[in-house]
């Protein structure tokens, strides 16, 4: 189980990040929703649709953690893509309602994680995830995809601990995908080792996340050539 005080803290941060995300989304016109995002091949509407779809899919991981019965996020990669495309094609107000309802449903269902967990680990995106980190994964998705909308909101506005959640989620994915050996260090004294830790990279949390998640190396310092990273 997740300690109730920790879950309350995590859900409070998730609420803050979600409120900012929803404020940004609500400010976008139809034309702005149709504009490209930082996610290759996706418009802003696709990013928002993904956040909506993922919120409901992650409830399946809560079901798995609490019941012990395995649940898949999506039936297949094709089903995931179809769900996102269908939501992205909705009229603006319907899309906004979907993302709001999805966020509220996830937050409500996450309260069950304070009970006994039948499965200490679940799987998301082909990699193992501690059941106690499901809420942190949702925080990571909201923060990174808010950044992907490329609006006036900047990643510096995210809570420092939310940035930490996001980096840890990306690092977990990069390890699972066999990313090059790196030692990642932040100005806040966080540290992660990937593989053999051969390449030393430093930045603040914001700069490190922008590089790890989206390849923006403008704010990192490395003691060797910066590698291309697999998508997370």
pLDDT of residue 1 exceeding 80, the answer is no
CB 51 within 8 A of CB 99: yes
User: Looking at residues 126-137, what average pLDDT do you find?
Assistant: 92
Cα angle for residues 162, 166, 168 (degrees, 5° grid): 115
User: What's the pLDDT band for 127 if we cut at 50, 70, 90?
Assistant: confident
Residues near 166 by Cβ (< 8 Å), separated by ≥ 6? 139, 140, 143, 144, 158, 209, 213
pLDDT digits (tens, 9 = 90+) for 71-98: 988 888 899 999 999 999 999 999 999 9
pLDDT of residue 31: 98
CATH code at 4-153: 1.20.120.450
User: Looking at residues 3-22, what average pLDDT do you find?
Assistant: 94
pLDDT digits (tens, 9 = 90+) for 214-226: 999 999 999 999 9
Token pair in block for residue 228? 């291309």
pLDDT of residue 150 exceeding 90, the answer is yes
Q: What are the structural domain ranges in the chain? A: 4-153, 162-232
pLDDT of residue 116: 85
Second-level CATH architecture of 162-232: 2-Layer Sandwich (3.30)
Burial environment of residue 29 by CB neighbours within 10 A (0 to 12, 13 to 18, 19 or more): exposed
CB 33 within 8 A of CB 43: yes
d(CA 195, CA 94): 44
Burial environment of residue 218 by CB neighbours within 10 A (0 to 12, 13 to 18, 19 or more): exposed
Indicate if 162-232 has the same CATH topology as 4-153. Answer: no
């Amino acid at each position: 189980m997740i300690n109730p005080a920790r879950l309350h803290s995590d859900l409070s941060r998730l609420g803050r990040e979600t409120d900012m995300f929803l404020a940004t989304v609500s400010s976008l016109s139809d034309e702005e929703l149709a504009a490209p995002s930082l996610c290759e091949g996706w418009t802003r509407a696709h990013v928002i649709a993904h956040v909506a779809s993922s919120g409901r899919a992650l409830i399946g991981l809560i079901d798995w953690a609490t019941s012990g019965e395995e649940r898949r996020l999506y039936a297949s990669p094709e089903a995931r893509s179809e769900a996102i495309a269908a939501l992205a094609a909705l009229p603006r107000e319907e899309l906004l309602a979907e993302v709001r309802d999805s966020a509220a449903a996830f937050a409500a269902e996450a309260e069950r994680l304070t009970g006994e967990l039948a499965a200490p680990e679940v799987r998301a995106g082909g990699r193992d995830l501690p059941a106690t980190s499901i809420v942190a994964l949702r925080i990571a998705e909201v923060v990174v995809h808010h950044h992907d909308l490329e609006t006036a909101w900047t990643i510096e506005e995210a809570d420092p601990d939310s940035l930490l959640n996001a980096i840890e989620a990306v690092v977990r994915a990069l390890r699972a995908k066999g990313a090059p050996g790196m030692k990642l260090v932040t100005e806040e004294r966080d540290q992660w080792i990937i593989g053999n830790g051969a390449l030393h990279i430093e930045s603040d949390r914001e700069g490190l996340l922008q590089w790890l998640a989206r390849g923006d190396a403008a704010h990192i310092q490395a003691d060797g050539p910066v590698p291309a990273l697999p998508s997370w």
